[in-house]
Each structure stands twice: as structure tokens, then as C-alpha cells.
Amino acid sequence: MGEDIPSSHFCEQDFERFSKRLHEETGLLRRWFSEQRFIDEWPRGGFELEAWLVDSRCRPVPVNESFLHLSDNPLVVPELAKFNVELNGDPQRLSGGALNAIETGLAETWRHSCQIATQLDASLQMIGILPTVREHELTLANMSSTERFRALNEQVFRRRKGLPLALDIHGIESLRTTHRDVMLEAAATSFQIHFQVSMANAVRFYNAAQILSAPMVAVSANSPYLFGKALWDETRIPLFEQSVAVERCGVGRDNNIVDRVSFGFGYAKESLLECFEENLAYYPVLLPVVLGDVSDKLAYVRLHNGTIWRWNRPLIGFDNGVPHLRIEHRVVPAGPTVIDCVANAALFFGLVQAMGSAVTAPESQLQFEDCRANFYGAARYGLQSRPKWLRGKTICMAELLLEELLPLAQSGLEALQISASDISRYLGVIEQRVRRRQNGAVWQRAYVKRHGADMQQLASAYMERQHNGEPVHEWSV
């Protein structure tokens, strides 16, 4: 959710001032793209992992303030709800043993965080949607104590003119409810993958990330239940889109109409600047914080971009004052285990590298409308979905992964000079997950089919297997 802000209350002058400076900084960014100011170096990768704090009954427990105080770790930060935290890792140059280094770092942070949680009679759980969370727990009383989150809630409902949010999801069962704050979003936790790119390959890599969103969400799905209802394999996708539904943002590029959480307008064409131009043209300012004068830190551009949640979001960062571009891939849920998370990241890095470097641009072989439909179909049906793939071929998702995408990911990781042992370890996890047709969502559904729809029992069984550390394809029902 980004850094905190000094105040959650704004006046009309704040919006005017912010908009003026956002225009100026977007002009500065336009010049940076023209001058090719961004770092051009070997790709780097990183992650953000959101997790739940739960009690002995696997119910969410709102103790993140005490948890963060005891943790005293800059890599562990608050999330929207008091029962969520975010674990980060240091970015790694994607070569050699980088994937092992990512796993080692995440595993150590996870172990230490689990130890801290026990001091509060709590545990940590990484799962897209916690099966035991109940709607009445998703209230402002359980919102983390930061001004940014309060401001987000106030401004969402200011733009909605006080109208409640409507949640309407149709899957195996249907769920309809209304909610009067943004805390529904706290029920959706993810493993966000970051891939730093150069200007030269940014467009191709970004478009590849869009195309690959369908297989990535299918293979990693881990959110089949919400409020006791069996919905999509990755219910997190419609939940997040509907839980911050500020307004329709108008007609944009290619005559598409999108919300603040969406799959976007279309493929990038000339540069990632197009996304930031869209931010300026089509998305009203949500958090008009006074950030000082316009500067080469792009504070206004970056804050505004942080209130627009594309499933693949371009980001601007800085290394010793020099700007870089990276892609934040947001479609993957948290969990089920550390090695599953790193395997998901390995698959993404390898696929984007290979697809983004292909002689023929894949986006020329798949209409964006089909790319988007593939994504939502994969979120709903997971490994059983049937995407319309490149050159018009329709194929079962599991077959696509085994026959085309895993070999492609291997070639991409080899091009990145990732060690052979790392490639074998992490892509091996993905291969077995697909061959056994068991990701987190499939395991949860199978467990409920055998033992009944007791969400506490499901969450407890999940927790036990998670802390054993074995990848989800090895979990027993």
C-alpha cells in the first residue's frame, strides 16, 4: 500500500495543487523517457509477501502493531488490516544462485516472523484468502493505524458519494453483499513479484507479463473460499477489483473503460510512459498529499500511481538517485509455502525473459481482449481453464504449462544465467504441481470435499501443512 502520509483530510485546494504538480512531474517523466534516463543493467527481481496473523482457532487477530514493534525489522511492514503484515526481501540480480538467495532470505524472515507471532499467542499464515475471515471482522476498527489507510477509505467513499461497495461474485456458489468501507480489500493477500527491466525491453516485457497473467494465476491459485462460499479458484481477483471500486474512469485508449483495479487499457505500444500518461488523463487524484515542490524524486507521479492497481503495474524506483523501471506482477496469491512462492517467481522471471525476448512479439499473436479473457477465465477455473493462446490455439491450461510454458521458462532462466540446480529445483516444483493438478485452491477444495465445509478445520489443516514446509503438490488431503 506504500509509504504513510502526514494527514488523511484534504480540501479542494489540495486537489488543485496536487493535480498541478502531477502534471509537471509527468512532463518531467516524459523528458526522462525521451532522454533514456533509466538504468540499463542486468535484470533484478524482488517480492512482497502479505500474510495473516491468526489465533489458535485460525481466526484473524488484530495485533500487527505489537508484532511490528517486537519484530523491529524494516523488511516487515504493516498492511491495511491490523491482522495483516507484509514481508519484503532485498532485490537480487537475476543470475547464478539468485533464486536460492531469494528463498533463503524469505525463509529466514518467515521463521523470525513466526517466532515473533508466538510471543503474542498468534501464528502467521500465508494464503490468498483466509477461509475463516468473516465479514464483520473487516471493519474500520481493524484498520491499521496509518493516515494513508484512513485517507484511502475517506476518499474512496467521497468519490462514491457515500454509496456502499457492492460485492457480487458468481462461482461454484454466489456471494452478494454490501460493505461501507474499503476493508474488504484486506481479505485479499498476495505474493507480488517485481522484475526490473531496461527501457529497451520494457514494452515487450510488460506485454509478456500481461499475457502470462493467465497461466500465472492458474498455476498459483489459492483463494477458493470467501465467507464460507465456494467461488473462483482465485477469488482474490474479483474481490480486490470490487473492494476498491471508486468510479468508472471514463473511456481511454482503444475505447476501453476501466476501474482503478483492472487489467488495464491494452498492451503497451511505444513505452511504459503510456501507463503514466493514462494515470494523468483518466484517473482522478485520490490522495492529494502535499509533498513539497516538484522534484526529480517524482513523488507526485509515484503516489498517484500507487492508487491505481493494475494487475501488472509499472513502477519507477531509484538506485543511488538514478531512476529504474520495474514491473510489479500482482496476480499471484500468497502461499502456500515459501518454496511455492519462490517457484512462482522463478516461473514468472523465466517466462517473461523468454517471451519478452522472442523474435516475434507474442502480443502480435494474441488480441488484448483474448489476453484479458484468459486472465479472468484462469482466475475462475484455474488449471482447468482453456485459454485462447497464441496464433488462435485453444488449449487446456495444464497442458499449455507442461508442453510449452515450462520449457519456455527454462530457456528464459538459462538466458538469465540462473544456476542449473536452481532451475531444476524451482521449475520442478511447478512441474509436479501441474502434473498432480494440485495447487492451493485444488487442495482446499479436495479437503472440504473429504472432510466437510468447516472453515476452521480447513485453515488449521492448511496451517499444519504450511509449517511443515513441503510444497503444496505434496500435501495430503
Reported as a pLDDT band with limits 50, 70 and 90, residue 251 is: low
Over residues 281-303, the mean pLDDT reads 92
Percent of the chain exceeding pLDDT 90 equals 90
Q: Are strands 225-226 and 229-230 parallel, antiparallel or unpaired?
A: antiparallel
C-alpha cell at 354: 523468454
C-alpha cell at 477: 488431503
pLDDT at res. 1: 41
pLDDT at res. 55: 98
The mean pLDDT value of the chain amounts to 95
In the chain, what are the domains? 12-45+129-469 (3.30.590)
Least confident span in 1-5, 196-200, 230-234: 1-5
Reported as a pLDDT band with limits 50, 70 and 90, residue 257 is: low
Distance CA 70, CA 64 (A): 10
Over residues 246-256, the mean pLDDT reads 57
**Hey, CA dihedral for 391, 397, 402, 408, is it positive or negative?**
positive
C-alpha cell at 111: 521463521
